[in-house]
A and B are shown apart, each in its own frame.
Chain A
Amino acid sequence: MRKELKFTVNGQPYELYVKPKTLLVDVLRNELGLTGTKKGCESSSCGVCTIILNGMAVKSCSILALQAEGAEITTVEGLAKGDQLHPLQKAFLDYGAYQCGFCTPGMLASAKAFLDENPKPTEEEIKEAIDGNVCRCTGYNSIIRAMTAVVNGDYKEAK
């Protein structure tokens, strides 16, 4: 039996009916077409499904959609403002902080949620912030450099 789900994703309010067993990631991808958020494991361990829920980085593959009732969600599609990329996105481009790009949406979500809460972190804190996100291509250090550049204010938020 489907149940009602009301939440806001990337500023857009939605009213849906979902099966209780549906995972949040599947609602985002299949119902809302937000396929930026990926799935990479069945064990809540790779982090490619990371989104921002009420300001926190969470794994959307390990949350029932109905548990997001009333939540404010941001996915990778919600980072840019119009044609203006988010500072993290610009930094990721300049520092080559992605290769195959499959972990990038989750990586950006972890990075943004973290920097929003802690804008002046140490390098160790930056590493902790993305430790839940596996990247097989970059070796992480370019991602850390990109985040550091944003922390240092090298990139300005679009007005």
Chain B
Amino acid sequence: MSDKYAVIGKSQIKVDGPAKVTGSAKYTFDMILPNMLYGKILRSPHPHAKILKMDTSRAEKMIGVKAVLTGKDTLGRKNGVWRRFPELCDEEILCREKVRYIGDPVAAIAAVDEETAEAALDLIDVEYEPLPAVFDPLEGMKEGAPQLHEHAERNINVTRRIEWGDVSEAFEKCDVILEDQFHTSSQAHLCMETHGAVADFGFDGKLTVWTSTQSNYYIQVLLSTMLGLREGDVRVVKPPSGGGFGSKFELDSAQFCAALLSQKLRRPVKIILTREEEFTATKRKTPMSYYVKVGAKKDGTFLAKEVRVVTEGGAYTAMGATALTLTGFYSCMPYKWPNYRYDGYRVYTNTAPTSALRGFGAPQAYFAGESMIDVLAAEIKMDPLEIRRKNAITPNYEVPGQAYIQSCGLKECYEAIEKHIQKRGKLPPNRGIGIGNYAFMSGGIFNWFNTPYAFSAATVKINIDGKVDLFTGACDTGQGSDTTLAMICAEELGVHLDDIRVHAEDTDLGPADLGSWGSRETLMNGNAVKMAAADAKRQLLEFAYAKMKPNVVYDLDIKDHKIYMVDRPERSISYFDIVQDTIRAKEGQTVIGRGHYTPHRKGMVSPAWGFGVQAVEVEVDPETGKVKLIEIVTAHDCGQVINPVGVIGQVEGATMLAAGGAFCEEQPMDNGKILNPSIGDYKVLRSLDMPKTVGIEVDTYEPEGPFGAKEAGEGLTSPTGGAMANAVYNAVGVRIKDQPITPEKVLNALKEKEKGRKKK
């Protein structure tokens, strides 16, 4: 890593580390407040039903029960993150007339302890009239299918078209055209800390909520809307969070019910979802039926791509609308398609709502897309890596009307992966290496949440002892944004990492930030922090100027606690002295720097793009169809690496989650009931299942990012599905188009292939 930086580019122990390895980190799960009550939520056992009658009296009479609330006790407002489109705010959270999935909340209880609350659930009598339900989006789209929401005919929730060029005309010119149908499965986020909140509504009319969230600003806004409060009367604090992965930036039932109960009772209320609720009644990955058609020239030049996607929406919009949009965009990446058309439909079904899961629509798109490219390569007898390289996006390319690509390290990624594959040489039988590519956004430009605030903002406060307080709204859920931002701040200010104290957990302290999702924090919040630090630094340098008298103040900079002449580094004075002087001269005011970032180019998807190429090696047992993951090598371009140890963590963590989704994770259902709602039955990769992983960072500089940095979080979940499918094909010659790639599917495919061979 380059030495032009003092702090960034060198592995740093994460600022939250010591608390986490000693057990002293206090999660929402661990919180206890004086006079606190415990809440539980009653949920629908029916996939679709009218609520005819609700009688809470028996539960209310139970000793220890303090309140039992139902939809009648709410303002009847509907929650949603797409606030610019009222009809997409469609989730009551506490249902009043109708339940739409098994797990839909109908009542909330607060009691003196968890046990009493749980026991009281059985004393709430709800009379339902079961309604015909629909679970398959393709069924749901048909005329006469059971309708979930009045406003959505044929259950169509959101549609999205993305198009450029002339696809139909272009297909005429293609030497080879291939089309196929893929399916991707549901996946659980499986945060080790389940969703939970502690809400304390005081007699001063102010609500404080401690909660495990990816966006305390979103929760503040959504809660205040749902409860009829002003944003300023709601304070959301994020203690250390036990994982999010896309499941924790929407208002959830624990947060809403705890707040509602506390509002009525004026006592702190804690609700922690059980693991079963976590599986069945929080959001999940969006399953997709994915049709794709690609056309190319004999020489491998891509000409046209057409994609039609129907997603299983579940009962409500959630972030699923974004997933639908992003899938449509990712389906063209990371290649130069002169002609492209995407039609996406999100369909309501009587299942748990589907939404964002680390990758946000990308893993689905790349599973189908990267599989098809291998088929295409085989069809025209071209090396899979070559055909990708030939069509890959290059720096300073515009995806028509969608994205300006500035930095792009794909070329270097191909070289790295090519070396790796050559090094592996000829593989033993039933082994195969498959590759997958991706591009991923560094946060979105879209603002359907409709915030007037900057997307990210930061304040830097320099105190008399030279210590720096960094205030930001970024939400570190373990990925390390607190550390990354502290490093950016320290680098810009020329101080040490331990001079920085990050205040990122509290809407009362930090400026608004959209939160950590869409791989946005490093670039967007990083820019805001860098700007704030620069602003504060500038104030110091102005006073330093008076002492050092360069021609212009730009001749000064700070590094390692020294303010120095840029071209005469030996001439320097102490940072600490200048801090003292500056504060005295400002009549004792601390030095405050302010920064913000909102991406420009509205209408585009993202200000900057991370890229990568991944090689997955598998071994398949032809007798059982079992796939063994051998090694996963990822070459990726995240711009300037800020914290190397953090980036490795992102590579390996994303790989584990993506490989799980490709390999074994799914949520089979029977009449809308998720059949494996426990970690015992839900298959998640463990240490013995985890393959060897190698991460290779290629060096690029992103002009739009802080110190040239861009995303390194979600994008890394993108290539694994397709790469694994390609690896299985290269190992035993069968192509699985339906995730996850279970032994049973592989074995059945092998048998089919055998039959086919015999016929010939």
| Residues of chain A at the chain B interface (Cβ within 8 Å) | 29, 34-46, 48, 75-77, 79-80, 85, 89, 92-96, 98-105, 108, 126-128, 130-144
Q: A35-B26, A100-B243 are in contact. Are A139 and B655 (CB under 8 A)?
A: yes
- B3 part of interface (Cβ distance < 8 Å): no
Q: What are some 17 contacts across the A-B interface (CB < 8 A)?
A: A35-B30, A36-B24, A39-B29, A41-B679, A42-B274, A42-B276, A45-B680, A85-B18, A96-B11, A98-B21, A100-B242, A100-B477, A136-B243, A136-B653, A138-B652, A138-B656, A139-B693
- B526 part of interface (Cβ distance < 8 Å): no
- B16 part of interface (Cβ distance < 8 Å): yes
**Max count, chain B CB within 10 A of own CB: residue among A75, A98, A136, A138:** A136
* Given A85-B18, A96-B646, A102-B192: 12 more A-B contacts, CB < 8 Å: A42-B276, A43-B678, A43-B679, A75-B23, A76-B23, A102-B242, A103-B192, A126-B687, A127-B690, A128-B687, A137-B653, A142-B649
On chain A, the residues within 8 Å of B275 by CB distance are 40-43, 46
Q: A85-B22, A96-B646 are in contact. Are A102 and B193 (CB under 8 A)?
A: yes
On chain A, the residues within 8 Å of B649 by CB distance are 96, 99, 137-139, 142
Q: Are B27 and A102 in contact (CB under 8 A)?
A: yes
Q: Are B652 and A141 in contact (CB under 8 A)?
A: yes
On chain A, the residues within 8 Å of B654 by CB distance are 139
Q: Size class of B's contact patch?
A: 35 or more
- Bound-state Cα–Cα, A46 to B242, Å: 13
Q: A105-B23, A138-B653, A140-B656 are in contact. Are A93 and B17 (CB under 8 A)?
A: yes
Q: Are A94 and B13 in contact (CB under 8 A)?
A: yes
- Bound-state Cα–Cα, A59 to B22, Å: 18
On chain A, the residues within 8 Å of B26 by CB distance are 35
- B382 part of interface (Cβ distance < 8 Å): no
Report the 5 A-B pairs with minimum CB-CB distance, sorted nearest first. A36-B23, A100-B478, A101-B20, A102-B242, A139-B652
- Bound-state Cα–Cα, A40 to B680, Å: 12
Of the candidates B243, B651, B653, the one whose C-beta lies within 8 Å of that of A102 is: B243
Q: A105-B23, A136-B190 are in contact. Are A95 and B645 (CB under 8 A)?
A: yes
- Bound-state Cα–Cα, A104 to B651, Å: 19
**Smallest beta-carbon distance B175→chain A, Å:** 42
| Residues of chain B at the chain A interface (Cβ within 8 Å) | 11, 13-14, 16-27, 29-30, 189-194, 240-243, 245, 274-276, 477-480, 645-646, 648-649, 651-657, 678-681, 684, 686-688, 690, 692-693
Q: A80-B22, A95-B645, A101-B20 are in contact. Are A134 and B686 (CB under 8 A)?
A: yes
Q: A43-B680, A99-B479 are in contact. Are A140 and B646 (CB under 8 A)?
A: no
On chain A, the residues within 8 Å of B27 by CB distance are 38, 102
**Smallest beta-carbon distance A77→chain B, Å:** 5
- Bound-state Cα–Cα, A83 to B241, Å: 25
- Bound-state Cα–Cα, A89 to B11, Å: 17
Q: A48-B192, A96-B649, A100-B478 are in contact. Are A108 and B21 (CB under 8 A)?
A: yes
Of the candidates A42, A48, A94, A141, the one whose C-beta lies within 8 Å of that of B690 is: A141
Q: Are A36 and B192 in contact (CB under 8 A)?
A: no
- Bound-state Cα–Cα, A127 to B690, Å: 9
**Smallest beta-carbon distance B747→chain A, Å:** 25
A127 nearest in chain B by CB position: B687
On chain B, the residues within 8 Å of A139 by CB distance are 649, 651-656, 690, 693
**Smallest beta-carbon distance B288→chain A, Å:** 23
**Smallest beta-carbon distance A151→chain B, Å:** 15
- Bound-state Cα–Cα, A36 to B275, Å: 19
Q: Is the interface of A mostly helix, strand, loop or mixed?
A: loop
Q: Are A131 and B243 in contact (CB under 8 A)?
A: no
- Bound-state Cα–Cα, A137 to B478, Å: 8
Q: Are A128 and B192 in contact (CB under 8 A)?
A: no
Q: A40-B679, A99-B479, A131-B686 are in contact. Are A92 and B22 (CB under 8 A)?
A: no
Q: Are B20 and A104 in contact (CB under 8 A)?
A: yes
- Bound-state Cα–Cα, A96 to B21, Å: 10
A101 nearest in chain B by CB position: B20
B29 nearest in chain A by CB position: A38
**Smallest beta-carbon distance B472→chain A, Å:** 19
**Smallest beta-carbon distance B27→chain A, Å:** 7
- Bound-state Cα–Cα, A93 to B12, Å: 9
Of the candidates B192, B241, B681, the one whose C-beta lies within 8 Å of that of A46 is: B192
**Smallest beta-carbon distance B534→chain A, Å:** 28
**Smallest beta-carbon distance A95→chain B, Å:** 7
Q: Are B21 and A128 in contact (CB under 8 A)?
A: no
On chain A, the residues within 8 Å of B651 by CB distance are 139
Q: Are A142 and B241 in contact (CB under 8 A)?
A: no
Q: A35-B23, A76-B22, A77-B22 are in contact. Are A98 and B680 (CB under 8 A)?
A: no
Q: A89-B21, A96-B645, A101-B240 are in contact. Are A127 and B679 (CB under 8 A)?
A: no
- Bound-state Cα–Cα, A133 to B192, Å: 11
Q: Are A93 and B21 in contact (CB under 8 A)?
A: yes
Q: Are B243 and A41 in contact (CB under 8 A)?
A: no
**Smallest beta-carbon distance A26→chain B, Å:** 10
Q: Are B16 and A101 in contact (CB under 8 A)?
A: yes
**Max count, chain A CB within 10 A of own CB: residue among B646, B688, B692:** B688
- Bound-state Cα–Cα, A29 to B29, Å: 11
Q: A40-B193, A43-B275, A136-B192 are in contact. Are A34 and B21 (CB under 8 A)?
A: no
Of the candidates B20, B23, B30, the one whose C-beta lies within 8 Å of that of A77 is: B23
**Smallest beta-carbon distance B516→chain A, Å:** 12
**Smallest beta-carbon distance A18→chain B, Å:** 14
Q: Are B242 and A36 in contact (CB under 8 A)?
A: no
Q: Are B686 and A136 in contact (CB under 8 A)?
A: no
- Bound-state Cα–Cα, A130 to B688, Å: 8
- Bound-state Cα–Cα, A130 to B686, Å: 8
